[in-house]
Amino acid sequence: MKILGIDPGLRTTGFGVIHKQGNTLSYIASGTIKTPDGDLPSRLKVILASVGEVVKSYAPDCAAIEKVFVNVNPQSTLLLGQARGAAICALVAADLAVAEYTALQVKQAVAGHGRAQKAQVQEMVARLLKLPGLPGSDAADALGVAICHAHGGGVLSDLGALAPALARKGIRMRGGRLVG
């Protein structure tokens, strides 16, 4: 199975393609999509078209994308959400199933803990995929999203969707266990 991971961003969107066969992961490609300075609609058009080109070039079987986190600046969060929306539109236009993962889920799947630094994620991505060097941070994040999907698939996505409901009931995760 070929998995396309996307790390959305308005200035730089990372992408990574991996192959999963059994429990073995192998690297296919990664890179970044950079948008030129300019108005928002033209930048979103670049993301939409470029993600579509990545899909055409590598023909993935499925895709995974990082969920938006809430920044201190609401305007930044809205812009990131629009970039993410453009990427998702390109993926669903290509008839790909799209899974969504939080940064915490990705870091846990790749580095073993949710508070991993970017450098730790880059290092672990390079190790897991047996890369000769470290990928750029945006490409590493995208490869991490793909690895997260390969490791957990729908299970991590389902758990992420359940988290808000569990939190409303006073149930939290502590030391890898659910506590109420």
Question: Is 123 labelled as part of a ligand binding site?
Answer: no
Catalytic residue among 7, 37, 39, 141: 7
Paired with 19 in beta bridges are 2, 26
Which run of H or E residues covers position 175?
none
Question: Is 39 labelled as part of a ligand binding site?
Answer: no
Which run of H or E residues covers position 20?
strand 12-21
- 37 in active site: no
Placement of tokens 């000769």 in the chain: 132
The vertex-130 CA angle with 102 and 22, nearest 5°, equals 70
- 138 in active site: yes
Catalytic residue among 37, 66, 95, 158: 66
- 141 in active site: no
Q: Which residues make up each annotated binding site for Mg(2+)?
A: 7, 66, 138
> What residue numbers does the annotated binding site cover?
7, 66, 138
List active site positions.
7, 66, 138
